Each structure stands twice: as C-alpha cells, then as structure tokens.
Amino acid sequence: MTYLRGMPDADLKELLKSEPDLGVPFAQYHEVLLRGSSPFSVGERELMAAYVSGLNACDFCCGEHEAVAGRFGIEPGTLTGLLADIESAAVSEKLRPVFRYLNKLTLRPARMVAADVEAMYAVGWDDPAPYHAASVCALFSFDNRLIQGVGIPSHGAKELQETADRLHARGYASTVDFIKGR
C-alpha cells in the first residue's frame, strides 16, 4: 500500500502513468541508460542499479534489478557478495574499482576525488565508464527516493518474476508503452 491517498494500491508503473509528463521521460531515461550503448554490459548495469539500491536499502529496486541482472547472465549471489565485501565478491578485477566508486558516490558523495576515477582508468576503463557509472548511481539514488518517498511496496515473488521477464525481453520501452496506453 502506498502513502498516496488517491492511489493506495498503485504500483510504480501506475504511478508513472498518473503523471505522464514525468513518467515518460523517466522511463525513457532508464531505457537509454540501461539498454543503450555503454562500456558496461546490460547485466553489469542492472547489477550496478541493484547495488546502489541495496546500499540505499530500497528493497523494491534492489530485488527487481538483481532479478533482471540475473536474466542477463549475472550469477546468483553476486549482489549479496558485493554488498558484504567488494574485495571478495565474485566479480572481475576490472569491476572492483567500479563498485568501490559506486559505493563511495552513493554513501559519501562529497568525498569523491580524482583518484576514484583514476582507479577505474588503471584497470582499463575509458572516459565513458565513469560517466555511465555515475549516471546509474544518480538515477537509482533518485529512483530509490521516489519509491521510498511514496511508499511503493516491494514486488511479490510472482510479480517480481513477471517484471524481470518483461524488462529482459522488452526493456524500459515497455514502461513507456504502458504509460502511453500502448
């Protein structure tokens, strides 16, 4: 149940549809950032979204994006490992500085320094990678606050699987279609 008097049973898609001038660009940005061209794979970006959401204690986004990441080949337990300890998590050495960067940007953004980006360059990432990582972090910090701020409840098991299947098959363009009534 949401905190909204007029939409107590709304899910996120219904909330976005209630204000299409906000909802359509919101969903379009997700599509571009999470499915468009990037130095990171779709699975890695979905894992990054789940990780930031886990740090922000947003169960809705954490669960949804972990499930979607799994559909794109991220092994079960990877997110749990990252949230427990980046250094021992089952991710490549090339991804460790990315998750350190996301951790710091999420939890201590005013302490970011050039060395945080330099650590990404040192393992082979180029200029687009920090921009894309920061964008995923910023978007999901925004998402988490929106969802937590209006009280969107976490998915049930069946709904989570259906959402993960939809986002895997059709991406966030499917949310745009829903908002526009297509």
pLDDT tens profile 90-144 = 999 999 999 999 999 999 999 999 999 999 999 999 999 999 999 999 999 999 9
| pLDDT for the residue numbered 80 | 98
**The pTM is what?**
0.97
pLDDT tens for each residue of 42-55: 999 999 999 999 99
Percent of the chain beyond pLDDT 90?
Answer: 98
3-state SS, the chain, equals: CCCCCCCCCCCHHHHHHHCHHHHHHHHHHHHHHHHCCCCCCHHHHHHHHHHHHHHCCCHHHHHHHHHHHHHCCCCCCHHHHHHHCHHHCCCCCCCHHHHHHHHHHHHCHHHCCHHHHHHHHHCCCCCHHHHHHHHHHHHHHHHHHHHHHHCCCCCCHHHHHHHHHHHHHHCCHHHHHHHCCC
Instruction: Give the pLDDT mean for 64-74.
Output: 98
Q: What is the mean pLDDT of the chain?
A: 97
Q: Which domains does the chain have, with CATH numbers?
A: 16-179 (1.20.1290.10)
